Amino acid sequence: MKAQSNEMPLQLHEISNGKWHYNFNVQQVEVEEMNGEGETVTRSAWEYDQITIKSAFTPTNENIRQLREEEYKKRSDSLYLAYQKYSALGETSKAESAKTAWLNEVQMIDMEFPYIN
Last residue in a domain, options 29, 56, 83:
56
- Alpha carbons 85 and 9: distance in angstroms, whole number: 46
* pTM > 0.85: yes or no: no
Last residue in a domain, options 56, 72, 87:
56
| Nearest alpha carbon to residue 28 among 62, 5, 53 | 5
Q: Within 10 Å of residue 117's Cβ, how many Cβ atoms?
A: 7
DSSP 60: -
- Alpha carbons 62 and 79: distance in angstroms, whole number: 25
> pLDDT confidence of 56, banded at 50, 70, 90?
low
Q: 63-67, 80-84, 95-99: which range is least confident on average?
A: 63-67
66 and 51 inside one domain: no
Number of domains in the chain: 2
- Alpha carbons 107 and 6: distance in angstroms, whole number: 30
Host domain of residue 1: 1-56
